[in-house]
Amino acid sequence: MFEFGSAYCPRVSYHFNPKVSNYHYGVKHPMKPFRLMLTDHLVSSYGLHKIMDLYETRSATKDELLDFHSDDYVSFLQKVTPENLSKMPRGTLEKYNIGDDCPIFQNLYDYSALYAGASLDASRKLINNQSDIAINWSGGLHHAKKTNPSGFCYVNDIVLAILNLLRYHPRVLYIDIDLHHGDGVQEAFYTTDRVFTISFHKYNGEFFPGTGNYDEIGCAQGKHFAMNVPLEDGIDDDSYINLFKSIIDPLITSYKPTVIIQQCGADSLGHDRLGCFNLNIKAHGECVKFIRSFGIPMLVVGGGGYTPRNVSRLWTYETGVLNNVLLPAELPEDIPFRDSFGPDHSLYPVLDDLYENKNSKRYLEDLRIRCLEHIRYLQG
Ligand code: ZLS
Ligand code: CA
Ligand code: ZN
């Protein structure tokens, strides 16, 4: 295996339970937990499981879910099934935002508790100093709210993990590179200065979830501790990487987080079924490599990503990046589902040729300046 040039040698832990891949949102639904199995196969086919500490994760307990979610909502998730949904009291579907985006499917509670348990396990390894970088690709479900699901997310594993980290860490930095705004995490920590949230996302006021303009900056004690980077369609590799680095570098220097959570939603890649950006796998991974280079403990989670073959390519590449290993382009001969990766059978397909870049140089420069002015508030 070829190593990137870096003297930093962190202990990397990988948190996964294969059961999480077996849940189904529905045939037409774009969220496919199966992509997690595809990722796990690719990670082990490249031999990465041999250089990490592997943990089969357990489910979060009800009490753990209640650290963020309301009793009423968690009890509903525990009770509801596709069969008894129509017998629930009138208004239940509306109250809990149940519908096409967040359907009730078989064993929904077990699925939610499983991906949340994995992020909690990962956070515990960081807290106990048994790991420097902990990975949970099944997590990253950043839209879930205290009392309802939203945008394919039922429980918010990120909020739960951050609440756990806050027991020991004075300052947590949350970085979200999913195509969508990380609204659930932002909202949960909007009034505190102990968590800084930043999200890069497509924004036009209408695109889901409709929030995340640059004027959302936090309030009360949390004023200036939330940042939003609203982007137009078609952003390309160089523009994204330059913007990302020029904001994140001074942010980390000023805020001095003691731990970082990075949400690596793969729907910001080009050619994503729900996406509208033009990023290639190496550009997305460059953002992960950059965060790693600060040598601060990291919890890395997944998120969106609706073209399963590219989700698994991306998260495998990023597992390599986090282990300081550059993976060869040619996919291993013996991978399961090899046909899904044709015709190129490469880890790095060309994904940047679909959308026109609607982010002008001027727009991006104004955005960068606005963000840097925001960061100046942190310096007091
Ligand atoms: O960040 O845009 C919406 C809301 C609607 C339009 C879609 N209809 C179904 C509901 C009302 C305004 N929802 C988004 C949610 C995106 C969640 C992203 C999650 C994350 O990546 C983190 C995991 C949305 N975009 C696309 C769809 N929903 C969507 C597309 C196709 C389908 C199939 C199943 C269901 C109905 C037909 C559906 C939703
Ligand atoms: Ca985002
Ligand atoms: Zn998304």
Q: pLDDT tens for residues 27-40?
A: 999 999 999 999 99
What is the position in ligand 1's atom list of the atom closest to the CA of 26?
34
Q: Give the pair of three-digit tokens for residue 38.
A: 């595809």
Ligand 1 pocket residue status of 321, Cβ below 6 Å: no
pLDDT given for residue 314 in this prediction: 99
Q: Which of 371, 376, 364, 362 is nearest to 242 (CA)?
A: 364
What's the average model confidence in pLDDT over 209-238? Answer: 98
Torsion of CA 331, 242, 307, 341, to 10 degrees: -20
Cα 101 to ligand 1 centroid, rounded to whole Å: 5
**Which residues have CB atoms below 5 A from the ion given as ligand 2?**
176, 178, 199, 201
CB of residue 101 inside a 6 A radius of ligand 1: yes
Q: Is the pLDDT at 4 greater than 80, yes or no?
A: no
Closest CA to 181 of 149, 229, 225: 229
What local confidence, expressed as pLDDT, does residue 190 receive?
Answer: 99
Q: What is the pLDDT of residues 275-328, one digit of tens each?
A: 999 999 999 999 999 999 999 999 999 999 999 999 999 999 999 999 999 999
**What is the Cα 105 distance to its own chain's centre?**
22
Six-digit token string for 65: 């879910």
How many angstroms does the Cα of residue 373 sit away from the middle of ligand 2?
21
**Ligand 1 within 6 A of CB of 151:** yes
Query: Mean pLDDT lowest for which of 5-9, 42-46, 209-213?
Result: 5-9
Residues 6+ apart with CB under 8 A from 41: 312, 335, 336, 337
Instruction: Output the six-digit token pair for 159.
Output: 């909020």
Fold of 2-379: Arginase; Chain A (3.40.800)
Share of the chain above pLDDT 70, in %: 98
- Strand 2-3 and strand 325-326: the pairing is antiparallel
Q: Nearest ligand, CA of residue 228?
A: 2
Q: Is the pLDDT of residue 252 over 80?
A: yes
User: Does the structure show a pLDDT above 90 at 174?
Assistant: yes
**Shortest-distance Cα residue to atom 36 of ligand 1:** 100
Q: Does residue 291 contact residue 175 with C-beta atoms inside 8 Å?
A: yes
Q: Find all residues with CB under 8 Å of 236, minimum gap 6, and list them.
A: 278, 279, 352, 357
Which is it for strands 195-202 and 172-176: parallel, antiparallel or unpaired? Answer: parallel
CA of 212 to the centre of ligand 2 (A): 9
Which one from 181, 271, 284, 374 is the annotated catalytic residue? 181
Question: With a 6 A CB cut-off, is 233 part of the ligand 1 pocket?
Answer: no
**Residue of the nearest CA to atom 7 in ligand 1?**
101
Amino acid 7: pLDDT: 82
Cβ–ligand 1 distance for 250 under 6 Å, the answer: no
Which residue in 274, 262, 283 sits closest to 137, CA to CA? 262
Ligand 1 in reach of 180 Cβ (< 6 A): yes
CA of 376 to the centre of ligand 1 (A): 36
Asked if residue 144 has pLDDT above 70, the reply is yes
Is the pLDDT assigned to residue 246 strictly greater than 80? Answer: yes
Rounded average pLDDT over 356-377:
98
Residue that has been written with the tokens 């943990």 in this structure: 55
Residues in the chain: 380
Which tokens hold the place of 13?
């832990």
Distance 238 CA to ligand 1 centre (A): 28
**Mean local confidence (pLDDT), 255-274:** 98
The average pLDDT across 239-256 equals 98
Structure tokens, 357: 């870049």
306 lines ligand 1 (CB under 6 A): no
> What is the average pLDDT across 183-200?
99
Confidence (pLDDT) at 2: 65
Residue 5 banded pLDDT, cuts 50, 70, 90: low
Ligand 1 atom nearest residue 306's Cα: 21
- What pLDDT does 74 receive? 98
Residue 313 near residue 69, CB atoms below 8 Å = no
Nearest CA to ligand 1 atom 17: 151
pLDDT of residue 3 exceeding 90, the answer is no
Q: Where are the domains of the chain?
A: 2-379
181: annotated active-site residue: yes
The pLDDT, as a whole number, for residue 287 is 99
Indicate the average pLDDT of the chain.
97
Q: Helices in the chain by DSSP H: which ranges?
A: 34-45, 62-65, 71-79, 92-95, 108-127, 157-165, 183-188, 237-255, 281-292, 308-322, 361-376
Asked if 139 contacts 157 with a C-beta cutoff of 8 angstroms, the reply is yes
Nearest to 186 by CA among 231, 229, 233: 229
State phi, psi for 210 to the nearest 5 degrees.
Answer: 95, -10
Tell me whether residue 8 is exposed, middle or buried, using C-beta atoms within 10 angstroms of its C-beta: 0 to 12, 13 to 18, 19 or more.
Answer: exposed
Mutate to test the pocket of ligand 1, among 199, 208, 306 (most ligand atoms within 8 A of CB): 208
What pLDDT is recorded for position 150?
99
As beta bridge partners, residue 299 has: 134, 261
In short, whether 115's Cβ falls inside 6 Å of ligand 1 is no
Closest C-alpha to ligand 1, atom 21: 304
What's the rounded mean pLDDT across residues 175-204? 99
pLDDT reading at 333 higher than 70 = yes
Q: What is the pLDDT of residue 6?
A: 67
* Residue of the CA atom closest to atom 33 of ligand 1: 29
Across 237-247, average pLDDT: 98
Q: Cα(301) to centroid of ligand 2, in Å? A: 12
Helix (H) or strand (E) holding 365: helix 361-376
Count of beta carbons in the 10 Å neighbourhood of residue 203 = 20
Pick the more confident residue, 380 or 305.
305
0.85 surpassed by complex ipTM: yes
Query: Could you tell me which residues come within 8 angstroms of residue 320 by beta carbon, excluding any fewer than 6 positions away?
Result: 46, 48, 326, 327
Cα(143) to centroid(ligand 3), Å = 9
**pLDDT grade, residue 116 (50/70/90)?**
very high
| 356 pLDDT tier (thresholds 50, 70, 90) | very high
pLDDT of the residue at 289: 98
Ligand 1 neighbourhood includes 209 CB (under 6 angstroms): no
Mean pLDDT of the 81-106 span: 97
> 1 pLDDT exceeds 90?
no
The finding on whether 29 has its CB within 6 A of some atom of ligand 1 is: yes
Q: How far apart are CA 152 and CA 273, in angstroms?
A: 15
Residues 322 and 291: their CA atoms lie apart, in Å, by: 10
